[in-house]
Structure 1
Amino acid sequence: MTLSGALSGKRILLIISGGIAAYKSLDLIRRLRERGASVRPIMTASAQEFITPLAVGALSASHVYLDLFSREDEQDVGHIRLARDSDLILVAPATANLMAKMAQGLADDLASTVLLAADRPVLVAPAMNPKMWAHPATRRNITTLKQDGIHFIGPMAGEMAESNEHGLGRMAEPLEIVASVLSLLDGGAKPLKGRSAIVTSGPTHEPIDPVRYIANRSSGRQGHAIATALAKLGANVTLVSGPVTIADPAGVKTIHVERAEEMRDAVLGLLPADIAVMVAAVADWRVATSSDQKIKKQPGDAPPMLALTENPDILKTIGHHANRPKLVIGFAAETQNVEDNARLKLARKGADLIVANDVSPDSGIMGGERNRVKLITRDGIEDWPDMDKNTVADHLARKITQMLETS
């Protein structure tokens, strides 16, 4: 599926503020225009210290607006015209300073004045040092902006421009921003529209007898959230869920299973598909022969011996299948050597991406509300900060969109 023309006729007002991430705006302009959007740029004075209006103008094929007091641009109250003559206002990168102005309603340059006069959707892609992002003043401003209806994409975790700096503060990648633009501008023209996705979620229960079973502590929250996030971006999602106590996600077809063999059969029955995200914590073993009756404890008898046999490896089966989805993503829940084990799993299972996390008992991740993951690909590792599971799902859905677009 190509996204060419997905933004045909859409008018984007792009505000570029000062920061090293401004260089990404050049690629962002190209990505927006190749999808049919027209891009009208505004550059702050600080942005011009990092990239030139000449480069921005050449890529956007548009006049670049720089000065609130330009006699030529302001002869017809140009800042009001700019604010209204667009379908969406995109701020990328958005510095802590510009977001503070937005939150306080300040208007001392062209960019902040246009934002104060805006009556269109505003999407902000923050970029700053992790300590600036985490500062209480910035957190207060973000809360205010969200209450005011401002939309956010990112920031993401990774290496900063400063030497030896790492954390949450990188501007989202251009394709991730484009996915958010598409989602905001047209609920029908979603970036994953026409794509089919399979998501597995929850634990499996492997019966010992009619009463007892082998299982794990997976709640299904992360898998269900990922199914929801993919559906929001337009994918036709089928969720194969093990036994959980949470509700089926809206807008998603859900197949309920108990055992690993049932989950494997359900997944294979959904092929072919474009995307497979294997989140379920499938039990590695099952009892070779489960009892039809409850196993009774007899006084003086030794505990019964349970002969175990290996369950099917669903991720490996999908990763090497003749009808293999274009994108196969697995999860690695580890308690030690997280990165090393995830790299081995990536190669062994035939996956394109492994989402790895540390589920040691003191992490609170297994069965909890939050998650901290590392994304392992053949090209490297992305270390994401602690986030709630819905936010992880939204970020991963945008990552999937990006990977499909560039594959």
Structure 2
Amino acid sequence: MAQDTARQPPPTSPTAPARALLPLILPSVAVGIVTSLVFVGVSTAAEQLQHVLWGPLPDALGVGRYSVLWMFVMLFATGVAVGLVVWLVPGHAGPDPATLGLDAPVLPPRVLPGLVLAVGLMLAGGPSLGPENPIIAVNVGLAMWLGQKLVPRAPDALWPVLAEAGTIGALFGTPVAAALVISESLAGRPLRGRLWDNLFAPLTAAACGAITTTLVARPTFDLGLPPFGHPRWNDVVAALVIASAAALLGMCAVRVFPYVHTAFHRLRHPMLMLPAGGLVLGALAAAGGHLTLFKGLTEVGELARDPDGWSAGQFAVLAVVKLAALVVAASCGFRGGRIFPSVFIGAAFGLCAHALVPAVQPAVAVATGVLGMLLAITRQGWISLFTAAALVSSPAVLALLCIASLPAWLLVTGRPQMQLHADGTPIR
């Protein structure tokens, strides 16, 4: 009898009945659609403002659109504008962005308008940050506020998960990224029921966010690089080396991040920190050129259209300057995320490797460079793998990326992250 008992399989969590999941569909669909519309709305408004600030306005003034003078003027003015929002608008555009990651806190409604305004001005003005962190924070706060009013019986813990999943789906145009991120966050929690039951509502929100963005904005991550065929032995070696080297470069930025943050915060006031950051970003833009401005997703497409059009030294300058600009923008108080700039940095680093060793295929170089950089900057394994694979759009590259992620992850895990505690010390 004891042997029979020992041979029995371990008990498994029961699956949730359909009647427990059906009520989640409508709130998940609504949250997914709204989070996408918020993201698309803020991004579109920022793009329109960017077009004016970096097009007709300098033309009317007789100044070159990307002249050194205009880059200094615009980045300093952006620092002043965002500083005014952080100083004067109720809620001060949320907490210090250096303390936030993708898992955003629930912010009160009065903070959200200022945060939207701050991220819109930042995206249009040129600092090297993306929209992801503040947009997730806005959507989490909005979902919690509306959810408590419209569906008071639903648990409060539901709304942040749905908003985060819907926004990630909207950002990447696919629910797969959100499902992977949510499953990673669920790994450390006790689950009620099967994993798929816990993913049902977030996946619904992510799918609706992704399809809404696809229908409205038609985003794409495919860089159109030369097609990648079957992996070869030299591709494996190149993937391991490039991903690890990119991770080490990213860790250099992570190491200096708290010191740069402390230096800016000694100025104490947002009307000093942000304009000072704008001036430093202007100097970096003068050194690296206009491709090192903005979140970097459009600019990385320009690099990918002609992977042999720059020298290894030029690619290296672009990568280093953009990385420095990311550290400065994230330290001085600009509201923004770090994923999209890291994509540009990793792609430039990978193309530098291709320029040094032409036998390295551009697709392998870009994908593994982005993988290593994202692992160092974000510590989000699934996001890093998914984003790197999406840039190449080749199933054959997935095996290389999984292999390359192993040594790169060993280089970054357990070490300080590019996110700080409230006292300015790095999170591990």
Query: Shorter-chain TM-score: what band?
Result: under 0.3
Q: Which structure has the highest helix share of the two?
A: 2
Q: Which structure has the highest strand share of the two?
A: 1
What is the TM-score of this pair, normalised by structure 1?
Answer: 0.26
Higher relative contact order (CA 8 A, sep 6+): 2
